Structure 1
């Protein structure tokens, strides 16, 4: 009986040990969510407000972006509208070149009609929603006179935006070889548009921030064009079609898909949830299905692992540096504090990795490092900078860090002439006494 009891205890102990080992070896939900394993050659995830990079994989490798090229075409068209060079109601007709491309079903052609006036709005919708190449070329010719001139504008704008890796050879993203004799003048007949994921994300960052109206079109699942229905290639939008339900992602409202044999399947996405917008890029995936599933992984990572937090509220004072010395004032010091909230987009659990450092404006101080009265309440005396003690991926827009103003919390009036005179007299006798003491010490040294 005793042996049976001991045997049962041993078996239960072994089962318990195995259970504990299994629990210890299993990844915790938070740990699993904090990593991203992407089936994409290159990728990046960016906060659309600050430009902060949240994730990257081979983000500087230049690859063919295919129709993601059209984000630059969209930007330049919208800029031309803003400048008044054209309007949404401006009309144009279709050239032989644009017509031949649009009539080719392999080039996402909607089948344009010649000898017909199309408005800029009609052409833009076909380009942004259906990724039509013919309408893209027609817009380029309208804005710049020729696609060759438009390509020059694209590369110039890329330089202005400080895209790190780019080469534009046409407005649509097709390989120049596919355009035949119509390839843009001044470009390589075998040329291919090139962008890195970082450059595509920066281009998208400028597009959604400078021209948010672009999202009105990129968010349309379907639209009417020239008596036909055109469909958006972005399956993450609410298409209300059973086949695409599995790809729908709450908050996605753009931005641009792309595909060629050379480029593979690419996608620059953007989504907004609770006022927080993200931009993601995946390049050279192996299928339409994959590019959307990998995008969902990136967005899930961003929304589950990052959030805005007010780490240092308005009026925050750094310990040991709460005051600055003041001379010629009714008070000897003045309190300094931040004049705004210091909100930071941070990864969960990393709050303690953020610190504040002060940069006092030296032009406000005398040679002894003191403020000279009067000092006004709210007067800017320097800046407070956030410092992150961790692996920093930086900012897509070249930003180096967040700063807010350091200000005086109250006024310090200048002392009256009598008190200043007494102070000066006191300083005189203090200095005189010190000199006398030093002289006497010298006699006996």
Structure 2
């Protein structure tokens, strides 16, 4: 098996420096491999366990935690903002390509990077060059000046720590207890760190970088949400982690663990021990022998330490049992709604088992928060509730007035049977829909063929983009702009186009030329939210002013819909509000728009669109995966608030119907619901239909590329003597065995079923020729539980000259590595760092 020279050198050096010299340590009865470790209670700062806790050791990239603290401090002082542009010096440019400066992440002179972006890749991906760039920004061009600030801050905090660089490549020094104290200060003073460190991946200028903290994925530990790993030959494998359970947070540090995986095992054992000790020391909510079942699935139950002990459950836990739980800060109200179609994922009871009467967690002072439970027909306000470290605990007895409730004395258990009283839509032909509201319109007359709660306004997610498009087409017709008008990219749009929550994420660039015509295609076909904002700013100066036109347009066409943004994406529900439309109003808008601008259908029926070198596929699957004869639009949408929405239209024998479902039970259900509605609508109009048909396939476009280079960690360039990489439908396909074995993976070919299996210790993926579904299985070494994920590939594996070619990005990212395409050098850069 071929190995990467630089990685092999690193491993040999690491073994020479760290192997075999560490004395065994135990936390409780469990072995940990760490040479130094501790676990600290966040609330009190008390060290609940330590092993060589005050001995100075090399922290590697955990150094970046002090770097990040100083960045946040500068933000708080107003010296910089999240939008401040970070310059790239020659020093940073070079180090961003040097494998010594883990993790490799190439930075460029002519690209704009913001502080916000740099924070994400420093915290999530441990990008050392990004940390140095921030150090130069805040150190007046000098990393050394910034490092002095880091040492001053360490002294102010009373830490036993000494820093020689800003990113952890140098042999900095800190003790485990001081590292935990630094983490406590960072979380306490700048809690935004947890929003960043809890991310499993971050998208940075069009590329996805996976977290180095594998307690969030492979070694999943319930409640884990940060903080930072570190690895160098001198440091060994280090990790400062944090997790919260039942409202109590622990911070753990492990330094010089025996392997990259063992540091997460050590951390889990440290955190477990910390939580168990904290349960004994703090709190007035207790473990109980009473048990509670919701629809026969057990939910963790506790006992409130009152005069009459009774079972209580944590409201947030109901999210695993078919409920939506949402807190409205403006009204200080916790809303709980049961959804019968929501997936059940009961909480493992082992996490909550404790000795009867043992303290579980602390009871906070009484709160003014109201708790409302909606059963679909009536709203109940609960009275017997408790504020527990920011979580709401509910007396189980409260559910007796809402649902079927049985107490079985012999089992000491309560059985609750939940239900949602509001019926789902049923078509007159007996076909059942999963939709909460539905509408079918005869396009010619505008009459309703069928409606179910069609006048109730609901959040509509990206369906709102069609009102934006309507206003944009008005602007074209009125001569304000033309389809060829160039759309400028503001800093706001640039940032939004890279924000993962701003669906759909299509990175836009300052130096690219985008036309209104292109933007309309991307809005309609790929639902690109930033494209909406860009055109909105072009037309009205700001999205806020553009939304006023949307509301005016709604009034003009006679609907009462209310719009607060142009995209359907509500970034901050506590400040912004959701766009609201009824199913009937969506149908009216669609009819008016098609009448005014029939050419819109030429866009909505396109299966894909090419946009600046990338192919984007239509999210409306009614003419691909769920092919329906005559379907030619219109728009779907999905957010947490809206659910899976769909507005569809189809024409047969010259008759058109418009259907709306707000929302359906799932992504698949919105398309099957739409097909049923099409069938019924056309039947009423006297048109015969054939229903859903088999998925259509597009002919692949093949192009062999002799020029494509594959480079690993900036140090090892692969060669392919037997079969060159190829481009298939604009996706890079490469001979997979050589690459994956170079990355240390095992590759097996099964000739019988024409499948490839690639695996390492924790991850296995399976792909079949000409099949666009890749199966990924991940084994959690902490629990031996194997999770399965079906990943849809844009291009299926192929066989060329007896060599199997696989889509490189999908396969490599499945194993946690990052893939970067460098256009100038025609290089696929694979970053497989171990930090």
Note if contact 2:27-2:269 (Cα within 8 Å) is conserved in structure 1.
Answer: no
CA–CA distance in structure 1, aligned partners of residues 243 and 167 of structure 2: 24
Contact kept, 8 Å, 1:94 with 1:113, in 2: the verdict is yes
Question: What's the RMSD between the two structures over aligned residues?
Answer: 2.1
For 2:64, the equivalent position in structure 1 comes to: 70
- Match of 1:104? 98
Rounded Cα–Cα distance in structure 1 between residues aligned with 2:129 and 2:27: 42
Which digits, 9 at most, give the CA deviation of each residue in 1:177-223, with x for residues without a partner? Answer: xxxxxxxxxxxxxxx21011011111101001111101111110101
Q: 1:159 aligns to what?
A: 155
> Which one of 210, 216, 237 corresponds to residue 265 of structure 1?
237
- 1:128 pairs with 2:123: yes
From 125, 144, 148, the counterpart of 1:148: 144
Task: Find the aligned partners of 1:193 and 1:294 in 2 and give their Cα distance.
Answer: 22
The structure where strand makes up a greater share of residues is: 2
- Does the 8 Å CA contact 1:33/1:304 hold for their aligned counterparts? no
Give the C-alpha shift of residue 39 in structure 1.
1.2
Q: Which runs of 5+ in 2 are unaligned?
A: 1-25, 286-353, 359-835
Equivalent position to 2:73, from 79, 86, 95: 79
Deviation at 1:350, TM superposition (A): 13
Task: Tell me the equivalent position of 2:431.
Answer: none
Separation (CA, whole Å) in 1 of partners of 2:60 and 2:27: 31
Partner residue of 2:252? Answer: 280
Indicate conservation of the 8 Å contact 1:34/1:305, yes or no: no
Higher helix residue share: 1
- Could you say if the C-alpha distance between residues 46 and 348 of structure 1 is closer, same or farther in structure 2, counting changes exceeding 3 Å? farther
Contact 1:223 1:231 in 2 (8 A): yes
Instruction: Indicate the SS of the match to 2:261.
Output: helix
Describe how 1:42-441 pairs up with structure 2 within 5 A.
Answer: 42-106=36-100, 107-145=102-140, 146-163=142-159, 165-175=160-170, 192-237=171-216, 239=217, 244=218, 247-307=219-279, 308-309=282-283
**SS state of the match for residue 168, structure 2?**
coil
Note the C-alpha offset of 1:105.
3.4
- For the residue of structure 2 that corresponds to 1:63, the secondary structure is coil
SS in 1 for 2:31: coil
Whole-Å Cα distance in 1 between the matches of residues 278 and 234 of structure 2? 34
Aligned to 2:418: none
Alpha-carbon deviation of 1:304?
Answer: 2.6
Query: Unpaired runs of 5+ in structure 1?
Result: 1-31, 176-191, 312-346, 352-445
Shift in alpha-carbon separation, 1:34–1:264, aligned structure 2, 3 A: closer
Q: Is the 8 Å Cα contact of residues 219 and 254 (structure 1) preserved in structure 2?
A: yes
Deviation at 1:348, TM superposition (A): 8.7
Give the CA deviation at 1:34: 4.2
Equivalent residue, structure 2, for 1:6: none
Please state whether the residue corresponding to 1:84 is helix, strand or coil: coil
SS in 2 for 1:277: strand
d(CA) in 2 for partners of 1:135 and 1:309? 42
The alignment partner of 1:171 has SS state of: coil
Normalised by the size of structure 2, how large is the TM-score? 0.30
1:271–1:278 Cα contact (<8 Å) kept: yes
Length, aligned pairs only: 261
Shift of 1:254: 0.3
1:245-283 deviations in whole A, cap 9, x for unaligned? xx1000000000000001000000000111100000000
Cα distance in 2 between the residues matched to 1:34 and 1:284? 19
Alpha-carbon distance in 1 for matches of 2:232, 2:27: 32
Q: Deviations over 1:1-47 (max 9, x none)?
A: xxxxxxxxxxxxxxxxxxxxxxxxxxxxxxx9944432110000000
Give the superposition deviation at 1:297. 0.6
Native 8 Å contact 1:103 1:109 kept in 2: yes
State the Cα deviation string for residues 371-405 of structure 1 (Å, max 9, x = none): xxxxxxxxxxxxxxxxxxxxxxxxxxxxxxxxxxx
Deviation at 1:103, TM superposition (A): 1.1
Report if the CA contact (8 A) 2:27-2:273 is conserved.
Answer: yes
Once residues 262 and 34 of structure 1 are traced to their aligned partners in structure 2, the CA distance between those partners, rounded to angstroms, is 28
8 Å Cα contact 2:87-2:137 kept in structure 1: no
Partner of 1:181: none
Partner residue in 1 for 2:346? none
Provide the residue aligned with 1:421 in structure 2.
Answer: none
The question of whether the paired residues in 2 share the 8 Å contact of 1:33 and 1:305 is answered with no
CA distance in structure 1 between the partners assigned to 2:226 and 2:167 by the alignment: 17
User: 1:402 is matched with which residue?
Assistant: none
SS in 2 for 1:46: strand
| Farther off after superposition, 105-114 or 166-175 | 105-114
Go from structure 1 to structure 2 and tell me whether the alpha carbon gap of 1:86 and 1:236 turns closer, same or farther (over 3 Å shift): same
Give a deviation string over 1:131-174, Cα, whole Å, max 9, x none.
000000001111121111101100000000000x2110010000
Q: CA offset at residue 78 of structure 1?
A: 0.4
Contact 1:36-1:298 at 8 Å conserved across structures: no
How far residue 349 of structure 1 moved from its aligned partner, in angstroms, is 11
Measure the CA separation in 2 of the matches of 1:268 and 1:77: 19
Counterpart secondary structure, 1:118 = coil
